[in-house]
Amino acid sequence: MVKKRVFPVAFLLVLAVFLSGYVAQTGNVINTGETKVVTKVTDGDTVMVEGGSRVRLLGMDTDERGYPCYAEAKKRMEELVLNKEAYLEPEGEDKDQYGRYLRYIFVDGENINLRMVQEGLAIASFYQEDSKYKAEIIAAEKNAMEKKIGCKWSASDEAL
């Protein structure tokens, strides 16, 4: 009887050691969420974190280079997250088609994805229907639109 129990226990120990070594070697963002320092802001909805992982913020979308709100959104994202520790919270799919990790980003407990929409620098945008922060992000977008907050909704940019 003892021999029958040794194999499963030994197998589980070997598996645990292998997985812990893999995570330590890759240094990448893992699915359970973790805290990383933001080392670069690519644009208003994409950042890089220590270890070289690219992270796409969930629940929102900002203008790309060459569009009206690009510079303002990128600058604000730098102010909010650059060189700061950020908690990266996963939801649903781990990565997008470009290999970027899909995460909500929190700095000092504040949802940065939500903040960008509240400030009228981003629009609400979701990959899946049952997103955790969907209701509050959509409400923030509605408020920003109604009050013409930020470059996305200001009176001079109504045609956008």
* 22 and 66 share one domain: no
* 114 and 81 share one domain: yes
* 86 and 148 share one domain: yes
* 24 and 51 share one domain: no
Q: Which is nearest to 77 in space by CA: 66, 89, 86? A: 86
How many domains does one find in the chain? Answer: 2
* 112 and 148 share one domain: yes
Q: Which amino acid is at 42?
A: T
Q: What is the pLDDT of residue 10?
A: 47
* 70 and 44 share one domain: yes
- Beta bridge partners, 147, equal none
* 10 and 42 share one domain: no
Q: What is the pLDDT of residue 3?
A: 54
Whether the pLDDT of residue 26 is over 70: the answer is no
* 24 and 69 share one domain: no
What do you get for the CA distance between the two ends of the chain, in Å?
Answer: 72
* 24 and 52 share one domain: no
Question: What's this model's pTM, rounded to 2 decimal places?
Answer: 0.77
* 40 and 80 share one domain: yes
Q: Report the CATH number that the domain containing residue 93 is assigned in CATH.
A: 2.40.50.90
Question: Tokens standing for 98?
Answer: 């470009």
Domain carrying residue 106: 34-157
Per-residue pLDDT of 115-139, as tens digits, reads 999 999 999 999 777 789 999 999 9
Mean pLDDT of the 29-36 span: 75
Q: What is the pLDDT of residue 96?
A: 93
* 1 and 38 share one domain: no
Mean pLDDT of the 10-36 span: 54
Share of the chain above pLDDT 70, in %: 77
Q: Which is nearest to 120 in space by CA: 87, 85, 156, 89? A: 156
Whether the pLDDT of residue 106 is over 80: the answer is yes
